[in-house]
Amino acid sequence: EMSEMSERSKQNVAHGLAWSYYVGYLKIVLPRVKKSMEEFSRANPNLLACRKTWKLHILVPLSCDVYDEMEKADSNIQYVTDLTETTLARAGTKKRVYKHSLYAIRDEENQLWHCAVEYATPLQSLYAMSQDECAAFSREERLEQAKLFYRTLEEILKGSKECADTYRLIAYEEPKEAETHFLSREIVWHLRQEHHEEIAVLEGSPPHTPSTSTGLDSAELNLQISVSDLPQPLRTDGF
């Protein structure tokens, strides 16, 4: 009976996608991220000066609108290179390759910030399901599924010791009116936070929270799934 109720409410979809994403991908690649960033930093010491940014920045757009080429989402985001590949035998596939791309993010002062960033790919599945008559996902249901995916993934990663301090979840809701450089500002906000965190650690003082730079920075996005859930902030490190 509980299974039937879960299927009717579609609550199992996002939960399963989050676990699959973690077990089949993040648990494999995240423990190797810092090593790849360190190798790149040795060859390019000026690009990744802040060690706090040596992690995978995972974009979670609640609209599930995922771009295959990030430059098309925001021209202030430009591909630089790929980090060192990880090659493993996986589920019968010999030499399966896992890799991350490094991007240069241009801020409003024309300064470049470098980081490894990518979308949470399961959101593409949620979007596709909302477009498929067989799945019968409405836009509202897709939004709830995206929220549930984020909340579930956040909890999974919080409990993962091997993934600690190797990622940063960037959940966001795009503005109703199109903004050309919304995404780059969103990413830069997080990079600035990480930069301040590193300075605080070096100085032995509590992290400083800078003034917010975008419309959603000062407001918390309510990621409630039910009335019993407490509101969760949009910006979270996930650790």
SS3 54: coil
All structural domains of the chain with their residue ranges = 8-204
Contact assessment for residue 188 and residue 107, using Cβ atoms and an 8 Å cutoff: yes
Q: How far is CA 116 from CA 4, 7, 191, 214, 238, in A?
A: 40, 36, 11, 21, 17
SS3 106: strand
Q: What is the pTM of this model?
A: 0.81
Can you read off the two tokens belonging to residue 52? 């706090």
| Residue 69 or residue 11, greater confidence | 69
Residue 140 pLDDT class (50, 70, 90 cuts) = confident
pLDDT in tens, 77-109: 999 999 988 888 888 888 888 999 999 999 999
Q: Give the closest residue to 239 by CA, choosing from 15, 16, 75, 58.
A: 58
CATH, domain range 8-204: 3.40.50.12100
- Given a cut of 60, is residue 210 above it in pLDDT? no
pLDDT value of position 131: 80
